[in-house]
Structure 1
Amino acid sequence: MMIIRPIKEQDHDALWQIAQITGVGFSSLQPDPEMVQKKLDWAVKSFRADKALEEAYYLFVMEDTETGKVVGVTGIESAVGLKDPWYNYKVNTQVHASRELDVYTRIKTLTLCSDYTGHSELCTLFLTPEFRKSYNGHLLSKCRFLFMAAHEPRFDDSIIAELRGYSDEDGESPFWEALGRHFFAVDFVEADQQVSRGKSFIAELMPRNPIYTNLLPAKAQSVIGQTHQDTVPARKLLESEGFRYTGYIDIFDGGPVLETQVDDIRAVRDSRRYRVRVHDSVDTDETVWLIANSQFRDFRCMAGHLSFEGLEFVNISRAQAEALNVQEGDELRVVPLFNPQRNSHR
């Protein structure tokens, strides 16, 4: 059974092991001992704080309850850019026209901006390769939505997800090579390692004037707003929940930024609260449900089957109750794991 829970200090070694396999372009968790420790400390502090931190980092792990092994991580930042600037490129269109010459051209430009300052961000999503099966990926990503639904005051009304941009089999980014490398003279891999500590230093060296994309090589133009092949499933999942690309990209690798309102996320909007009834066995249908308790420090989330009793109660097994850390009469928040055509329990 897979369970989602807040990360703990004892998870340091597991987090370090995951950091060593995330790969080039996964800047939010790099194999850097100092960075891993900083992330862990920040997350633990965020969960322990009596009052919500202005910039909190809620990092969760996926644990296989049969082995106790941590097999994935997923996170949310409550607000970005409040202390360190948060930069993106806005993809705009400029029109150049001349009636005399009968010329009319539309040219895309990249403009440095900080439009997402203060927004919440989905981040640090990684599932170890051997566990990329069944619905583990959906659980790892969507558990964050039930946590936000239960604790909405801790987050901004708007939320973004900055996705890893395209890089080739050799780990090179055409966008970086065409643009960033000219102002920050290192290769993509080295820049990726440095950007894990923050992107403000890159923005300080990048041009402030709009960049005409038609002056970039064709290969670089073609990857603007494109997603790394390993991140394509994550993008499709977020889009199925209501996230959309609106023309903002990462200044580092050109990856897309998806955004939406928290209340417009399908799993937030359609989730409902029920009281628990625990049984030795439960008769269920084939629907897979995303199930979470309403706690904060002891948040738990899983995917599984259950049944409903009227409009107030859900029936779950004793094993599920133990995994979710709930007892008879406690509250659970429930939503179909996948976007259904019809939901008779709304």
Structure 2
Amino acid sequence: MWIVRAVRTSDLDSLCSLVALATQGLTSLQLDRDQLLDRVEQSVFAFSRRGMSPRGEPFVLVMVEPESGQIVGTSTVYAKTGGYQPFYVYQRVVSQHRSEQLGVGQTRERLELQRTHDGPTEIGSLFLRQRCRGDGRGRWLSLARFALIAGMRHRFADRVIAEMRGLALSDGTVPFWEAVTSRFIPVNFAVADTLSTVSKQFIEEMMPQYPIYADLLPAEVRAAIGQVHPETKPALAMLQKEGFAETDQIDIFDGGPVVSCETDKIKAVQRTQSVTVASVIDKLSKESDRVILVSDKDGFTSTLTSVVSIGDEVSIASSAAQALDLDVGSACWVLPI
């Protein structure tokens, strides 16, 4: 069966091959082998930790193809943004100005650099091989993060955000970067993008401390502020259906929007239910429900399957029980998709 589970250190080679396919705009996946190993080790520790309070560690999930055993997809929950290194965004601030003497008024927008040290949980790093997309696997890989949050609620903040990939041209040019950020960080977008996943010190050193007025930017750049990359529109639509809404914040590199929702108001978190396995059978009835079924085996293991639900009990297929190491009486979680 297809599985989405917590990453293991033994996954490193396969995960390296996967992230090498990620495009430039997927900032959090622009990692070399050593950087990726560091993230994997942090995730392994995060799943094993017993402390109650949220920290800044990443919880990395991977999708495993049953035939080859390859890692074909990944997604991540970052328990808390900020901390030792602040979380940086531009806040869009709109102000009204009027001159009675001139008889004119004007609406202005400025971008103010914001630093957050004790921030919300963040979801990101979602990527699935092209050939494996379809049959609900991309949605599963995304929603699995909310099942994880619901099952370990105390380990995450009271709000969740997602930085959506900003607008880029067909040749890879990022209008917002070229017009704004590159004027203060004079390196290639991909270089800065990659370095920011390791250390954000250069942002503090190089970015301007005063607001940037959008009125001074070219019209096409102003139009790109807060817009998402065409490839990101389905992901944004899915998050909006789960209760996320756009904020007044944008990414400082590509100008993409930051979306947000209170953790306990995320619909997928609300739909995740703690249940007990009532029976394990070879073949389920036609009235079964398609869900993400989750066990705490190795921290987090899930499969996309059908179950028959009666109250807080479920009947599951023997193949799912074997994949998740479940038996009659086992506790698990279900998230209807």
Which TM-score bucket, shorter chain as reference? over 0.9
* Deviation of the 1:49 alpha carbon: 2.8
Query: What is the letter of the counterpart of residue 280 of structure 1?
Result: D
Taking a change above 3 Å as real, the CA distance of residues 97 and 116 of structure 1, as seen in their structure-2 partners, is farther
* Deviation of the 1:51 alpha carbon: 2.9
Structure 1: where are the runs of 5+ without partners? 338-346
Superposition RMSD on alpha carbons, in Å?
1.7
How far apart, CA to CA, are the structure 1 residues paired with 2:270 and 2:195? Answer: 38
SS of residue paired to 2:269: helix
* Deviation of the 1:292 alpha carbon: 1.4
How far apart, CA to CA, are the structure 2 residues paired with 1:325 and 1:221? Answer: 53
Instruction: Please tell me whether the aligned partners of residues 224 and 249 of structure 1 are also in contact (alpha carbons under 8 angstroms).
Output: yes
Instruction: Please tell me whether the aligned partners of residues 9 and 37 of structure 2 are also in contact (alpha carbons under 8 angstroms).
Output: no
Q: Residue 79 in 1 paired to residue 80 in 2? A: yes
* Deviation of the 1:98 alpha carbon: 0.8
Matches within 5 A, 1:1-346: 1-51=1-51, 54-115=55-116, 117-276=118-277, 277-285=279-287, 287-293=289-295, 295=296, 297-308=298-309, 310-337=310-337
Q: Matched residues, percent identical?
A: 33
SS of residue paired to 1:85: strand
* Deviation of the 1:106 alpha carbon: 0.7
Taking a change above 3 Å as real, the CA distance of residues 103 and 200 of structure 1, as seen in their structure-2 partners, is farther
How far apart, CA to CA, are the structure 2 residues paired with 1:120 and 1:270? Answer: 19
How far apart, CA to CA, are the structure 2 residues paired with 1:296 and 1:214? Answer: 54
User: Which has the higher mean CA deviation after the structures are superposed, 177-186 or 283-292?
Assistant: 283-292
Taking a change above 3 Å as real, the CA distance of residues 54 and 141 of structure 1, as seen in their structure-2 partners, is same
User: Which has the higher mean CA deviation after the structures are superposed, 199-208 or 147-156?
Assistant: 199-208
* Deviation of the 1:278 alpha carbon: 0.6
Q: Which runs of 4+ in 1 moved over 6 A?
A: none
* Deviation of the 1:108 alpha carbon: 1.2
Structure 2: where are the runs of 5+ without partners? none
1:42-88 C-alpha deviation (Å, 9 max, x unpaired) = 21222233436722211010112233121101111111111111110
Give the structure-2-normalised TM-score.
0.94
SS of residue paired to 2:84: coil
Query: What is the letter of the counterpart of residue 199 of structure 2?
Result: G
How far apart, CA to CA, are the structure 1 residues paired with 2:146 and 2:321? Answer: 20
Query: Whose strand proportion is higher, 1 or 2?
Result: 2
1:260-280 C-alpha deviation (Å, 9 max, x unpaired) = 111001111122222112111
Query: What is the letter of the counterpart of residue 302 of structure 2?
Result: C
Instruction: Please tell me whether the aligned partners of residues 171 and 189 of structure 1 are also in contact (alpha carbons under 8 angstroms).
Output: no
